[in-house]
Every structure is written in C-alpha cells, then in structure tokens.
Chain A
Amino acid sequence: MIKLKNITKEYRGASYKTTALNQVTLDIKDGDFACVMGKSGSGKSTLLHIIGCMDMPSEGEYYLDDICVKDLSPYKLDRLRREKISFVFQGYELMSRYTVWENIELPLNAKRIRGKKKRTIIKDIMERLEITELKDKYPGQISGGEQQRVAIARAYVMDTPYIVADEPTGALDEANSDRILDLFESLHNEGKTIILVSHDMDVAQRGDYIINLQDGHIKEEK
C-alpha cells in the first residue's frame, strides 16, 4: 500500500521557490489502477517521482508498504525502489546504445539475475508483448509503439508490485495507445498496482479511479 501524508515538495533556487506539491494526502491500495490527471505544471510528475522514490518530499511522510521512506538512507531507498517499483515513461527512456534485449535485461542485471533464468524471463515477456523479432535492434531502429512496449517489458521484468507510468501513451498514436493501455490492464489483472499519469481523459478512464491534481493539490478523486 502507498500512503502519502501531507506531502509537500518545494524547489528552491537562489532567487525563487516553487511549490510543486502542497499538502498532498493520498492512499493507493494494493491492486489499484490509479490514474493521476492534471494540467502541465500541476505536479503530476513530481508526485510520481515521490511515489517512485526517485525524489524526497520537502515535508510530509510517505509510507511504502508500511516502510517510512523518509527514514531510509539513499542506498536503502534505491534498494527499496528496486524491489517495489518499476517505471514506464513518456519518452520511453531506453538506453540508445543497448539493443532491445539489453535494455530489457538491465533490471535483471541490477537484481543479479543471470544465465538461463534471465534469458527465460526476457524471452517470455518478449513473446507476450510481441517484440521477439526486435531482439537485436537498437531503440533508434524501432517505432515509438515498439519502444514503449520494450519499456513496458523492461518494467515488467523487474517483477515489482507497483508500476508507475508517466504519460506512457503521450507520444503514441491512438492505435498504439490502445495497445499499450491494454497491456497495462493485463498487468493490473495480474495483481500489479498501477499508478498512471496522463492528461488525457480517455486514458485516465481506463483506471479504477482518477486523482485530479491542480496547482499541487488534490482537487478531487473520482
């Protein structure tokens, strides 16, 4: 379960202060498919980064499976993220110098999974996402939809209970968007907790509920 209590995130510069999130309190239960909506600058990505343990809140408390994230050292935080959370991004964020296979195996290397077990896991997910034939290609040689599927495959092999997706269909056409969202639904049906950020209502409606963010506040949940 994800619990955020009065989370505030401020960015300070030499002569400015920006409050990206302001007293956000939110609970996401295991198995939920939560969609976060909001305009640009509303704090969606910041919220995602905090949930994903990529960033620390300025104030407030964040509990991930009853573990207070604030108390963790950077190293333990990284370890926690490795065990609990995987990411899918709008820009795919694939390693351009790695092949598709090598991109997918990256999290498995981080988890020190090697040899036959690693190969089996990657083959299975590639077959499922129909990207087996892209195995030796580089990100620059495949389409946006294919890249996003590779990104999802990479997130999937991490085998984490939570998947955080930041505008996963933002750069895709409608057909590919539907395909990607279908994948997320199937992951949800397997018991994964999905937190998906989108500015598109059609995408957001695929989830169990929508969290509306405005100017760093939760405006409503529906």
Chain B
Amino acid sequence: MCLWYALCQLYKNKIQTIITAVMITLSFIVITYSGITYLQFRGNEWKAREVVEGDFKNIYHINLINYFAAGGNELYLLNELYQWMQNQSELKWYGLYYYYDEEKILYVSGQILKMCGIEVEKEEEKSAWVGCNRQADIPVGSEFEDAGIEFEVVSCLDKNSRFIGHAYTTGLAALISLDDYVIVDLDVMIQENPAEIGNGIVNNLYYEVETDRDADFFEKKLRDKADELGLDIYGINNLKSLFKANARDAMEKAGEKYLMPLVLALCACVALCVCSMQSYHINRHDSSVMLSCGMTRRDISGIYMCENLIKILSGYSLSLMYWVRKNREMKLETFIISSYYSWLEYLKYMILICFGLCFVFTALCSMPVIIKIRKNKFILYRE
C-alpha cells in the first residue's frame, strides 16, 4: 500500500498529510546524504592521514652543515652514523641530505647511500650532487641564516635523473661532531606535491617512522645522543604538527560541506517530531473497525508501520545528527566527561538517550500488533 494512503488515514488534515509526506521524503534524502557526506568526511580525514602519514610519516632530515669545513673526519662521521643507525633497528633509513663541501660530501654521500642500499656510480654521483641552488624559500634554512651559518642546499637528482628537489628531500639521521658546535636540524617536510611523492619518485629515499610514538622516540633518542656527545641541538621540528594542521584543514573542509545537511536534518527532524506528536496511535479497536470497513490487513499494518516510521525517523534522525556532530568535535569519552561536568551537555545527552529509547520502545510495542494483524488474528469481538 502506498505511503500517501497510509498518511491520509493517519492525518485527516490534508495539509498535515502533505507536510508529513514531504518531511518523510526529505528525511530520507537528508539522512542518506548526511551518511554519504559523513563517510566522505571520514574519507577525507583518512586521506589527509594517508597523505601525511603515508610517505610523509614523521619525516625528518638532518642537515650536515659545515662538517668538512670544520675539519670533520668523514670516517668518523660514517662510523658514528653507522653505529647509530644500527641501534635504530625499528626504523627504516634512507638518506638524502644537504652538504657543504662538494668533494668530500660526494664521497660521504655515496657511502651513506650505499649503506642505505642505494647504489650510485661515482660519475653519476658527481653529477648528481652538482648543481647547487640556493633555495631562499626553504624554511629549513632560515634558522641557520639567523644563526649566521652558511649552508648550501642542493637540488639533487637520483640515478635516474629524476628531480628530487629540496622540498622532497628526506634526511638521514646523523650526528656530527664539529669542533665548535653541531647543528642538527630535524625539519618539517614541505608537501607541495604529495601525489608525486606518493607515486614513488622519492619513495626509496624516505625515512619513515610509523607513528607519533616513534617520532617522539626518535626525537628523544636524538636529544639523548646529542646530550651524550655534548652537542647542541638547534631547531627541531617534526611532522606531527604539520599532520595535525593538514588533517584539521581536511576535516574543516569536509565539515563545511557537512553543515548544510545537518541543518536540513535538524529541520526535518523538528517537523517529524511535531507530526509524530499529532499522529494518532492506531489501536486494536480501530484496527478492527478498519477491517470491517473494507481495509485489508496489509493496509492496516502498513498504516501502523507508517505511523511508527515517522516516530522512528524523527528519533533516529536526531540521534544520528547529534552523534555525528559530536563525533566530529570530540571523542566519545571527552563528550561523556564534558557531559558530566556540564549540565547542559548532560541534558543533551539525556535527550539523545530518551529519543533512542522512545523509538526502540515504539518499535517493540508496535511489532506484536502488526504481527497479529498479519496473522489474521483480529476479530471484532468474541462472545
């Protein structure tokens, strides 16, 4: 039987019938759209996480600055580096880095690359590391400039002559000893073209840690090592803050799209609630009378279900909207805690529970009657 017919029996007023029919339709549309948008929102959040956490999970690089200019020993560097890398068993290491002295760095870089499992020919190596470009817009360099430290940033090419570029370089965690000072710069990666990165141009050159916990661990290790060696650490950043900013942006962008469906859902829910309060609950007597007036059991159960559908939809819509909204803003436990300490939040929480209970109760009460109607167990009265 059709929804319109059922509504006509529930609401004798035509205007009310039309409004309810429109609201039910709107509710379905809004709920579906909200659901899809919410999934998209979660998807965006996930995508943001993927972009940030995928190839860019807590990426660090360290500048080797002025090492050789200060008379550093490459063998010492390599030894230290190697030892330290061995201790970082849970971390993967790939390397690309900035350097100062072309000759020696070329050698060091080649060795380090080999250590990382990247084979580079000598000649290629030489040409690969040539072509210094002072990248004035690299935020990583600004701190060193402020500190009066000269440095060079090199745009690098891998053995396939693919441009890696300063923005996509990763670092090799290394501690160097300089006579005067050590600069260890764990810098934030700039994600200008994450898609390209994701496609693997520099995949094999990324240093990855899996989680924030690892990043914290790594940072702590570095600091501990620096303390042990008596080194100063100048300027530590990591990708966590960038991840958070990106994820927040992604969520806010998704949330903008999400706002209108939520508003519409609220309007539909309010209208449905009003309509449900005015709808008449079909009882057993009315069902019997309707049977005697030529209605089929199917019609009656349809009307009954329609009536409860309205109530269920209104409760469900409000619950869904409220839950989704809250989920976006805070975690459930935070919400519960805030509810505990805030009477207003607590009231909203109770309303949510009441709605949920109402529609469950209504559904439970309706089902036995509907089943009886369908099973032909209704007669008008017995002697």
Give chain A's interface residues, CB within 8 Å of chain B. 11, 20, 40-41, 43-46, 49, 52, 54-56, 74-75, 77-79, 81-82, 86-87, 89, 93-95, 97-99, 102, 106-107, 109-112, 154, 158
| A11 to B382 alpha-carbon distance, docked (Å) | 10
Q: How far is the CB of B362 from chain A (nearest CB, A)?
A: 19
For A109, the chain B residues whose CB sits under 8 A away are 5, 8-9
Whether A87 lies near B292 (C-beta < 8 A) is: yes
Contact B299 A89 (CB under 8 A): no
Does A54 lie within 8 Å of B379, measured CB to CB? yes
Contacts A54-B292, A87-B380 known; list 11 others, CB within 8 Å: A11-B382, A20-B383, A43-B383, A45-B381, A52-B292, A74-B376, A77-B376, A82-B295, A98-B12, A110-B296, A158-B293
Please tell me if the beta carbons of A106 and B290 are within 8 angstroms of each other in the complex: yes
Residues of B within 8 Å of A79, CB to CB, are 296
Contact across chains for B297 and A78 when beta carbons are under 8 A apart: yes
Q: Does B294 sit within 8 A of A, measured CB to CB?
A: yes
In the assembled complex, how far is the CB of residue A15 from the closest CB belonging to chain B, in whole angstroms?
A: 17
Given contacts A54-B380, A109-B5, A109-B9, contact A158 B294 (CB under 8 A): yes
Question: What CA separation (Å) do A140 and B289 show in the bound complex?
Answer: 16
The reply to whether A93 and B8 form a contact with Cβ atoms under 8 Å apart is no
Instruction: For the complex, give the distance between the alpha carbons of A219 and B352 in Å.
Output: 64
Docked pose: A102 CA to B298 CA in angstroms:
21
Q: Taking the complex as formed, is B44 at the interface, i.e. its CB lies under 8 A from any CB of chain A?
A: no
A75 and B298 within 8 A (CB)? yes
A102 touching B12 in the complex, CB below 8 Å, given contacts A54-B291, A86-B294, A89-B380:
yes
Instruction: Decide if the interface of chain A is mainly helix, strand, loop or mixed.
Output: mixed
CA distance A51 to B56 in the complex (A): 80
- Which residue on chain A has the smallest CB distance to residue B300? A78
Tell me whether B286 is interfacial, beta carbon within 8 Å: yes
| Complex Cα–Cα for A98 and B12 (A) | 8
Contact between B380 and A74 (Cβ–Cβ < 8 Å)?
no
What's the nearest-Cβ distance from chain B to residue A49, in Å?
6
User: A93, A97, A110: which contacts B299 (Cβ < 8 A)?
Assistant: A110
Task: State whether the Cβ of B339 lies closer than 8 Å to any Cβ in chain A.
Answer: no
* Smallest beta-carbon distance B116→chain A, Å: 76
A75 touches B297 (CB 8 A): yes
Q: Given known contacts A75-B297, A78-B298, A95-B286, is B379 in contact with A49 (CB within 8 Å)?
A: yes
Contact residues of B with A, CB < 8 Å?
A: 5, 8-9, 12, 280, 285-286, 288-299, 374, 376, 379-383
Q: Which residues of B contact A112 (CB under 8 A)?
A: 5
The 4 closest A-B pairs by CB, nearest first: A78-B296, A82-B294, A110-B294, A87-B292
Provide the residues of chain A in CB contact with B5, threshold 8 Å.
109, 112
Nearest CB of A to B213, in Å: 64
Contacting pair A111 B383 (CB below 8 A): no
Can you list 15 A-B pairs, Cβ within 8 angstroms, ordered by A? A20-B383, A46-B382, A54-B379, A74-B297, A75-B296, A75-B297, A77-B376, A78-B297, A86-B293, A87-B293, A89-B292, A93-B285, A106-B290, A110-B299, A158-B293
Residues of A within 8 A of B288 (CB): 93
A70 → chain B closest CB, angstroms: 13
Residues in A neighbouring B290, C-beta threshold 8 A: 106, 110
Give every chain A residue within 8 A of B380 (Cβ-Cβ).
49, 54, 87, 89, 93
Whether A82 lies near B379 (C-beta < 8 A) is: no
Across the interface, name the chain A residue whose C-beta is closest to B299. Answer: A110
A152 to B5, CA, bound (A): 24
Query: Which of B8, B9, B289, B381 contacts A94 (CB under 8 A)?
Result: B289
Which chain B positions have C-beta within 8 A of A107? 293-294
Bound: A106/B380 CA distance, A: 17
A46 contact set on B, CB distance < 8 A: 382-383
On chain A, the residues within 8 Å of B383 by CB distance are 20, 40-41, 43-46
Complex contacts, A41 vs chain B, CB 8 Å: 383
Task: Please indicate the chain A residues that have their CB under 8 angstroms from the CB of B8 in the complex.
Answer: 109
Q: Which residue of B lies closest to A101 (CB)?
A: B12
Contact of B280 among A55, A97, A158 (CB under 8 A): A97
CB distance from B6 to the nearest CB of A (A): 10
Bound CA–CA A106/B382 (angstroms): 24
Please measure, in the bound complex, the distance between the C-alpha atom of A129 and the C-alpha atom of B201, giving whole angstroms: 91
User: In the complex, what's the smallest C-beta–C-beta distance from A98 to chain B, in angstroms?
Assistant: 6
Residues of B within 8 A of A20 (CB): 383
Residues on the B chain within 8 Å of A95, using CB: 286, 289
Contacts of A74 in B (CB 8 A): 297, 374, 376
Report the bound CA distance from A93 to B379 in whole Å: 13
**How far, in angstroms, from A43 to B383 measured CA to CA in the complex?**
8
| A43 and chain B: residue at smallest CB distance | B383
Which A residues are in CB contact (< 8 Å) with B299? 78, 110
Of chain A, the residue at the smallest CB distance from B8 is: A109
Note all chain B residues with C-beta closer than 8 A to A94: 289
A86 vs B291: C-alpha distance when bound (angstroms): 10
CB nearest neighbor in A for B289: A93
Smallest distance from the beta carbon of A78 to chain B beta carbons, Å? 4
**Judging by beta carbons under 8 Å apart, are B291 and A78 in contact?**
yes
The chain A residue with its CB closest to the CB of B380 is A54
A109-B288 Cα distance, complex, nearest whole Å: 16
Q: What separation, in Å, do the CA atoms of A45 and B374 have in the docked complex?
A: 22
- A80 vs chain B, min Cβ distance (A): 10
Residues of A within 8 A of B374 (CB): 74
Distance in angstroms from B168 CB to nearest chain A CB is 70
Residues of A within 8 A of B292 (CB): 52, 54, 86-87, 89, 93
